[in-house]
Each structure stands twice: as structure tokens, then as C-alpha cells.
């Protein structure tokens, strides 16, 4: 897949460009359906399958106070999209100047003039342009005027736990609640975070007898406090592990940490970046009466994780 990170890199329109546009945070199964439709339609006309996204997320520009946490940081989003089979990903630098482009200029100057769009694939609620003033009806009028096709992909049949529509907002809610099974259903994969192993408080191995890797997260979205069965991607291997997220109430220091204990593993992980896939939530965070009670529970957590991950 060709990654274009500035529109100035496009020197001439693409051949029979079929394109979809969106933020694609999470690259969930709704987004994947758009990509698959683009790929199918591009193949049918020997054209170019393209997705356009934005960096940073537009809400970081237009809603500067308390924008939602990203499900997939930019690096991960590009990686996931690159695996879909698209030919090109255009990642447009999003700033206030770009946000001020009106819908007509966006279509005529960028979609048609710069990219050479022949087919545009969007969802039913797609909106774009200054103040999101362009919509599907506007696109259809422009399509008739400029001789391109607008294909509106119907909503995917509801697959959420409550029959709700697939959305990045709902996935954030599920991850924050620790509801990993429903989140996986909407994402089409296990929720993953990435982090660098840093020096911790030396309590895992020395005090508790279970050495842990303390993570400095790269992700903004972290599951609810508690203990999880996870897998860790490290040096081309996928290893079983248990993750603890929270504030260590038994020790009373109120410091938020994400720690991972790799099952049946020994080695120095300091400085390495690992990927943690959340498989199942084992329990919430508990304040124990003492170290021995905590050690006993950790042992039970590990046994449960072994059963889930075997």
C-alpha cells in the first residue's frame, strides 16, 4: 500500500480512483466493510482502491477541549489499513485551514481535480467540508454535475451486545468498561495497546514473586482497572500473560500503572516496545488485607489465565 501524507505528493490523478473517506478510528468492522467495497469496485473497473483519512483526528482541531481518546493511534491505524488490500492511503494533515474548505471546493479541487475520483463510497451519515455542511444528498448533486458515482453503503446489520450500530464511540465505551468480548465483536479483533517497558517499583518479583513488565503506554484508551488474561506480541512471538491495570490499592500509593506478567517467561524486557492483546477480564481491582492474600489471588489469576489462553 502506498502511503501519501500530504496532498502535494500527488502529482497526477489516479487511474479510475475509487475512494472512501473517514477518520477510521479503531478500523472497526464498519470501516472494513467500506474498504472491502472500495476494493471490489476498484477491481471491477481496473481502478485504484483508495482511502483518505486525517492526522491529527479532526476533533483535535475543532474540539480542542477534551477530545475523545483514540482507539488506534496513528501508527496502528496505518498498519491496520495497510493489511486490508487497499492500493493507497491518503493521510491529510488536518488543521484549521483544511477545516475551512467548503464542501464544493473539497469535491471539485481535491476529490476530482487532485485525486481523480470516479467512485466515492460512503456511509449513510457521511458529512464533510466546513462545519460538516456537505452530506450525502449534496454529494449526489455534485456527482450528477461532475460525472462521478456516489455509492452509499448501508449500515452493517447490528452486531453489538444490545443490537446497536457499530461506531467508534460505542467501542470506546466498551473498552473503558472492560467489556472486551463485545468490543472485539465490533472491532473484528482483540483490543490492543502498545507500550515501552520501563522501570517499575520492583514489587512484582521481589515482593510478590511474580515479575512484571511495567508499561509506559503509547495508547490513550486503556481498559477499566482490573486483571486481564492477555497475549503479548514480542519479537515475532505471541506469549500468554496476565495484565494488571490500576492503582495498587493494597499498597496504598494511588499510582496508576499497567503491568504485565508473562507466563513461563524469563528475560530482560526493559526498553522494549510490546503489544498487549486483551482477551478476557478476570476480575476488578481489589484491596487485599495483606501481601499474602494478594499473592494467593495472583496465583489464582494466573491459573485462570492459563485455562483461558491454552
* 172 within domain boundaries: no
* 165 within domain boundaries: no
| 212 and 146 belong to one structural domain | no
Residue ending a domain, choose from 152, 173, 208: 152
| 195 and 148 belong to one structural domain | no
204, pLDDT greater than 70: no
| 278 and 142 belong to one structural domain | no
DSSP letter for each residue of the chain:
-EEE-SGGG--SPPTTEEEEE---TT--HHHHHHHHHHHHHHHHTT-EEEEEEEES-THHHH--SSPPPPSS-HHHHHHHHHTTT-SEEEEEEP-HHHHT--HHHIIIIIIIIII-EEEEEE-TT-EESGGG-EEHHHHHHHHHHHT-EEEEPPPPPP-STTSPPP-HHHHHHHHHTT-HHHHHHHHTS-EEEEEEEE---S-IIIIIS---EEEEES-S--PPSEEEEEEEEETTEEEEEEEEEE--TTTT----EEEEEETT--S--TT-EEEEEEEEEEE-----SSHHHHHHHHHHHHHHHHHHH-
* 170 within domain boundaries: no
CATH code of residue 242: 2.40.30.30
CATH code of residue 45: 3.40.50.620
CA-nearest of 259, 255, 304, 254 to 283 is 304
pLDDT tens digits, one per residue of 55-87: 999 989 987 778 899 999 999 999 999 999 999
Residue ending a domain, choose from 152, 172, 203: 152
* 87 within domain boundaries: yes
Q: Which of 58-72, 97-111, 191-205 has the lowest mean pLDDT?
A: 191-205
Q: Which of 109-123, 160-174, 226-240 has the lowest mean pLDDT?
A: 160-174
The pLDDT of residue 206 = 47
Residue 254 backbone phi and psi in degrees, to 5: 55, 35
Structural domain count, the chain: 2
Residue ending a domain, choose from 152, 181, 207: 152
Q: Which of 47-56, 101-110, 198-207, 257-266 has the lowest mean pLDDT?
A: 198-207
| 137 and 279 belong to one structural domain | no
Query: What's the average model confidence in pLDDT over 140-158?
Result: 91
* 28 within domain boundaries: yes
* 178 within domain boundaries: no
Check: CB of residue 256 under 8 Å from CB of residue 310: no
* 163 within domain boundaries: no
Strands 237-246 and 257-262 come out as antiparallel
| 131 and 256 belong to one structural domain | no
Q: What range does the domain containing 53 cover? A: 2-152
| 17 and 145 belong to one structural domain | yes
Check: CB of residue 279 under 8 Å from CB of residue 308: yes
* 161 within domain boundaries: no
| pLDDT top residue among 267 and 195 | 195
C-alpha 260/C-alpha 49 separation (Å) is 39
| 9 and 148 belong to one structural domain | yes
The pLDDT of residue 159 = 62
| 138 and 17 belong to one structural domain | yes
Amino acid at each position: 500500500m502506498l502511503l501519501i501524507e500530504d496532498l502535494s505528493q500527488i502529482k497526477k490523478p489516479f487511474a479510475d480512483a475509487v475512494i472512501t473517506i473517514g477518520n477510521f478510528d479503531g478500523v472497526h468492522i464498519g470501516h472494513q466493510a467500506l474498504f472491502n467495497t472500495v476494493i471490489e469496485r476498484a477491481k471491477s473497473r481496473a481502478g485504484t482502491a483508495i482511502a483518505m483519512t486525517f492526522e491529527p483526528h479532526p476533533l483535535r482541531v475543532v474540539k480542542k477541549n477534551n477530545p475523545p481518546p483514540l482507539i488506534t493511534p496513528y501508527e496502528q491505524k496505518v498498519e491496520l489499513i495497510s493489511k486490508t488490500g487497499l492500493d493507497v492511503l491518503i493521510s491529510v494533515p488536518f488543521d484549521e485551514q483544511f477545516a475551512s474548505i467548503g464542501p464544493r471546493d473539497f469535491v471539485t479541487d481535491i476529490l476530482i481535480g487532485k485525486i481523480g475520483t470516479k467512485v466515492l463510497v460512503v456511509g449513510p451519515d457521511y458529512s464533510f467540508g466546513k462545519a460538516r455542511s456537505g452530506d450525502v444528498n449534496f454529494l449526489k448533486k455534485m456527482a450528477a454535475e461532475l460525472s462521478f458515482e456516489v455509492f452509499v453503503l448501508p449500515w452493517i446489520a447490528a452486531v453489538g451486545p444490545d443490537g446497536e450500530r457499530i461506531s467508534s464511540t460505542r467501542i470506546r465505551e466498551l473498552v473503558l468498561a472492560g467489556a472486551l468480548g463485545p468490543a472485539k465483536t465490533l472491532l473484528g479483533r482483540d483490543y490492543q495497546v502498545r507500550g515501552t517497558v520501563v522501570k517499575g517499583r520492583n514489587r512484582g518479583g521481589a515482593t510478590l514473586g511474580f515479575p512484571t513488565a511495567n508499561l509506559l503506554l503509547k495508547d490513550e484508551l486503556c481498559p477499566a482497572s482490573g486483571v486481564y488474561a492477555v497475549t503479548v506480541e514480542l519479537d515475532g512471538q505471541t506469549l500468554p500473560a496476565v495484565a494488571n491495570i490500576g492503582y495498587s490499592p493494597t499498597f496504598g500509593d494511588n499510582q496508576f500503572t499497567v503491568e504485565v506478567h508473562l507466563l513461563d517467561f524469563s528475560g530482560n524486557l526493559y526498553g522494549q516496545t510490546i503489544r498487549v492483546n486483551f482477551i478476557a477480564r478476570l476480575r476488578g481491582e481489589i484491596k487485599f488485607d495483606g501481601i499474602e492474600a494478594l499473592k494467593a489471588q495472583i496465583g489464582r489469576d494466573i491459573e485462570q489465565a492459563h485455562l483461558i489462553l491454552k
